[in-house]
Amino acid sequence: MALKPLLCACSSCKALRLLCFLTIFLTLFQAQITLSAKLVGLKNHHNSHAKKSDIKANLTSCNSYVGNWVQDDTYPMYQYSKCPFIDSGFNCQMYGRSDSDYLKYRWKPATCELPRFNGLNFLLKMRGKTVMFVGDSLGRNQWESMICMVLAVAPGSSTQMLKGEPLSTFKFIDYNVTISFYRAQYLVDIDMVNGSRILRLDEISDNSNIWKTSVDVLSFNTGHWWTHKGDQQGWDYMELEGVLYQDMNRLDAFERGLRTWARWVDTNINPTMTQVFFQGISPTHYIPGEWKSPPVSKNCYGEMVPITGSFYSGPYPDQMKVVQNVIRDMTTTTHLLDITTLSQLRKDAHPSIYSGDLSPAQRANPNRSADCSHWCLPGLPDTWNQLLYTEMFF
């Protein structure tokens, strides 16, 4: 700020000289305040722009999937009573789970901090767009989690839920944001032929038509159904290259099916238009010998705290090695949500007997009936979505 010369035509009068001095002092002081304000404004302006770039730089040098669980009383991010869309099989508190410490854990990567899920930011960035989860009931677990997380910041927003088979959609009408779930537990086709269920390892046409129709984010998962046997097995025959098999090595079948999915993505998805994610294998907790702490039951029933540290002493799923190899061979950019290990540490986060899908007699027999496969909501899938949010926007 340029200061005009101040001419004080002061006489020898002391009072006039004092008045002249005060005038000069006040003018200089005002100029200093103006300059300081400008400098502070510039500093704040710089910091506001640096914040997001700092997060990006932080995450670039960080493996978000290596870390540990820390207590955080600001969690959970929503209340089950405020989200009426949670399936009875995931709604643990509604069906009698009285402990709540399992809700108050946050995933902390070893060398960085994850950005907190911001539902309003999600709605604004996804305005006019669609996210679709494709897969089995673990994908549905994550779909319902995302609905609840976003709904928590827009409780008065107009919404619409359309439940169907295989497609269900939830829409935030005010933002024109759609979050969908498409049930395809194997990803590849399964058809009924002459009363028999045929799992076609090298075909994906029936399921895939809707996946490529105006979808901006696709998140796939599969895994558990490939291992089921007996009454839980979802197919009668497998078909590969026109030949029917009553059974084959399940890991080989899983890889065949996953490579069919990978070829479909490489052929049909434009990565400049659609982001593709694959959710890592979600673990189960039916064998207490896999974790070091003394077990409280014959499975996950009664477990109330996570495993401490970053290491899980049980086996790493062979299916994850297949997933990693298949994604590595793809030409279309596919982001792996590597949630397996961090989820292995959460033996406390399953529905166990606190599920509306169980009868009173089943709840009375946790050794036989506890669900140690799916996850409570609120709960662990909220962290999966925090990681998905981070991969999408940072």
pLDDT digits (tens, 9 = 90+) for 99-146: 999 999 999 999 999 999 999 999 999 999 999 999 999 999 999 999
The domain locations on the chain are: 20-61, 68-393
pLDDT digits (tens, 9 = 90+) for 340-388: 999 999 999 999 999 999 999 999 999 999 999 999 999 999 999 999 9
CB 323 within 8 A of CB 278: yes
- Find the mean pLDDT for residues 155-184: 96
Q: What is the pLDDT of residue 30?
A: 47
pLDDT at 149 over 70: yes
pLDDT digits (tens, 9 = 90+) for 263-314: 999 999 999 999 999 999 999 999 999 998 888 999 999 999 999 999 999 9
The residue annotated as part of the active site, out of 64, 136, 137, 224, is 137
Q: What is the pLDDT of residue 346?
A: 98
pLDDT at 249 over 90: yes
Q: What is the pLDDT of residue 104?
A: 98
pLDDT at 50 over 50: no
Q: What is the pLDDT of residue 172?
A: 98
The residue annotated as part of the active site, out of 282, 371, 373, 382, is 371
User: What span, in angstroms and rounded, lies between the C-alpha atoms of 204 and 206?
Assistant: 6
Residue 371 designated active-site: yes
Q: What is the pLDDT of residue 44?
A: 38
pLDDT at 175 over 70: yes
Between 27 and 215, whose confidence is greater? 215
CATH placement of domain 68-393:
3.40.50.1110
Residue 137 designated active-site: yes
Q: What is the pLDDT of residue 56?
A: 57
Q: What is the pLDDT of residue 342?
A: 98
The residue annotated as part of the active site, out of 224, 285, 350, 374, is 374
Residue 374 designated active-site: yes
pTM of the model: 0.86
Q: What is the pLDDT of residue 87?
A: 98
- Find the mean pLDDT for residues 165-171: 97
Q: What is the pLDDT of residue 28?
A: 43
pLDDT at 392 over 80: yes
pLDDT digits (tens, 9 = 90+) for 81-104: 999 999 999 999 999 999 999 999
